[in-house]
A and B are shown apart, each in its own frame.
Chain A
Amino acid sequence: MNLALEAHSLGKRYKRNWALRDCSLQVPAGRVAALVGPNGAGKSTLLNLAVGLLRPTEGTLHVLGRRPDGDRDLLDRVGFVAQDTPLYPDFTVSELITMGARLNRRWDTPLARDRMEQIGIPLDRRVEGLSGGQRAQVALTLALAKRPELLLLDEPVASLDPLARREFMQVLMGSVADGDTTVLLSSHLLGDLERVCDYLIVLQTAHVQLLGGVDELVNEHKALTGPRRQRADVAGVAAVIRESHTDKQTTLLVRTNGPILDPAWTVHDVTLEDLVLAYLAYPAPGRAVLGVAK
């Protein structure tokens, strides 16, 4: 399997706090991977490590087969949109594109200009005169004009209104539809990414809680309902992720390792959102990563 990003026991400590710890994960090339987790889970830290802005405290990290250390050979191949899409406020859009052309060996000026025209952002407008949604689009365009093999986006839509969010995600998906670009984008809301991602990483309090292809994960997990009872071994269940009880009924969200044939349980499919919420509440930080897609 060709990996765009691979981490082994990766950790990053700020003074005494670990922002990321014992993080092992792979992102296969060509995927659109969602990095989901609550605020402070370590998403930004992971992305900043991947682009070489931070150095790991422990463990190893390979991006496109290299260690990210801020050298230009790797930076040329990675597009990065930082949190809050920082841009120079006094630059015009056109000047930002010129900046990209001056600073990158691989740069597609016509692509950048065409995209701005399509979205309807005037090239002579200063950044401080753009809306938040337009700013995010400009930042995305600057990252795409590098024709990156890996595109990293740190909470790109967090500060946008719902309409701008949808537009942004549409433009993003249109741009990487060819499948040559691996995308890793983070959000604290799965809803932003659910429709576009085919690979999922859930981070919780500095650890990886869940990792895998979206289809595999959804197929592997089931919701079981049956008469109320204490937890019992059910054939085909590898782990119970969440259980809830009413007076009469017990509901389990489980990871399966085979078909569930026990007639006492009714088996339902789960949505990706159910799955993520269940894992975020799963009280076992640092637990072995589940459901790695091959």
Chain B
Amino acid sequence: MMWLAWRQHRKQALFAAVGLAVLAALVIPTGISMRNAFTDSGLAACLRGLGTTEFLRGDGCDSLSDMFSGRYETLATLSMLFVFLPLLVGLFWGAPLVARELEHGTHRLVWTQGVSRMHWAGVKLGLVLAVTVVAAAGYALMVSWWLGPLNQAGQSRMAELSFDVQGIAPVAYTLFAVALGVFAGTVWRRVMPAMAAALVGFLALRLVVLVQLRGNFLPAHERTFPVIGQERPNPTLGDWTFSTGIKNAAGEVMSTGEQIQCGPAVAGRPDTICAPYGPGAYNFELYQPAGNYWPLQFIEAGLFTAVAAVLLFLAVRQIRSRIA
């Protein structure tokens, strides 16, 4: 049975190997040069000097990190495309796994040889899931390493999309995508509809979790700093700030989505942007602290792995008793 599973899926394994090699060829040289630039420009030393101070006065490392981020901005943006890799694996490995057999009728050939369906399903799913985990872990490790300097320079690894291509979450997304594809294949029994269903299902759950749930997995923290003053939050802490705004002295929200600050020298002058907020107004931001990165990763990975397990169970049940 191993022989058959390998014979049927060796092409996909080859694609995965080639894909990882291409990724490595892309990521390793640029990653090394990025690291060199990170150190050589003095940014690394500057950030070390800054430490984890919560508030800054003056420039901090902003100009250095802006220069660094500017230089690698395109690559960083491109890296966000990796967010679709799990989906591709689900569409091209998961969906056809059972659906192609059912579409061609070859399940009637293979299920009437001297192996039980459960054995067949176990070996096929086992092999594909194992390759999936290895490939996804390889991709996640490489991207995590690669984005390291950018994360430190202020593009928080907690932020949307950045979070989604690093750590262990991508492995769970990939497992989920494959399980969803397999399950859709056992329900729709043709490759194209199974792929379509997997595409829609994957994007739907990912978006709901990303937009609605992730920020609430752990209680958010609030940080405040005055509108009139010189202390502002350290942007390189790596926090995930998802809500900002300004409140007046009474704590009423005056505006959202912006933060402003004016020096004490202009306090009270009516022609500055700070004037409308009155004395005692302060900026606020809701954020997940950088320290919550791994807890959030585990929660998100656990959620998607659990959904994948349920889908696989349902797929196996379909194979065992619903399909002829």
Residues of A within 8 A of B111 (CB): 53, 70
Q: How many chain B residues touch A (Cβ–Cβ < 8 Å)?
A: 21
Taking a contact as CB atoms under 8 Å apart, the answer to whether B109 and A72 are in contact is no
Kindly report which residue of chain A lies nearest to residue B320, judged by CB atoms.
A70
Taking a contact as CB atoms under 8 Å apart, the answer to whether B108 and A53 are in contact is yes
What's the minimum C-beta distance from A49 to chain B, rounded to whole angstroms?
9
Given contacts A70-B117, A82-B105, A88-B106, contact A51 B112 (CB under 8 A): yes
Main DSSP-derived SS at the B contact region = helix
Given contacts A53-B324, A83-B105, A89-B104, contact A76 B114 (CB under 8 A): yes
Does residue B110 face the partner (Cβ distance < 8 Å to A)? yes
Residues of B within 8 A of A86 (CB): 104-106, 108-109
What's the minimum C-beta distance from B104 to chain A, rounded to whole angstroms?
6
What's the minimum C-beta distance from B303 to chain A, rounded to whole angstroms?
35
Contact of B112 among A78, A91, A95, A98 (CB under 8 A): A78
Q: How many chain A residues touch B (Cβ–Cβ < 8 Å)?
A: 33
Does residue A87 face the partner (Cβ distance < 8 Å to B)? yes
Taking a contact as CB atoms under 8 Å apart, the answer to whether B105 and A84 are in contact is yes
Does residue A119 face the partner (Cβ distance < 8 Å to B)? no
Does residue A100 face the partner (Cβ distance < 8 Å to B)? yes
Given contacts A53-B324, A76-B114, A104-B114, contact A88 B8 (CB under 8 A): yes
Contact of A104 among B3, B7, B113, B119 (CB under 8 A): B113
Contact of B3 among A80, A88, A98 (CB under 8 A): A98
Does residue A186 face the partner (Cβ distance < 8 Å to B)? no
Does residue A103 face the partner (Cβ distance < 8 Å to B)? yes
Please measure, in the bound complex, the distance between the C-alpha atom of A251 and the C-alpha atom of B128, giving whole angstroms.
66
What's the minimum C-beta distance from B270 to chain A, rounded to whole angstroms?
77
Taking a contact as CB atoms under 8 Å apart, the answer to whether B7 and A87 are in contact is no
Contact of B321 among A55, A76, A88 (CB under 8 A): A55
Residues of B within 8 A of A70 (CB): 111, 116-117
Closest 8 CB pairs of A and B: A82-B108, A86-B105, A103-B113, A104-B114, A80-B112, A54-B324, A53-B324, A76-B114
B4, B109, B115 interface centre (most CB from chain A within 10 Å): B109
Contact of B7 among A54, A78, A95, A146 (CB under 8 A): A95
User: Could you list 6 further interchain pairs (A-B, Cβ under 8 angstroms) beyond the known A52-B112, A86-B105?
Assistant: A48-B108, A70-B117, A72-B114, A87-B106, A102-B4, A103-B110
Contact of B109 among A87, A98, A105, A146 (CB under 8 A): A87
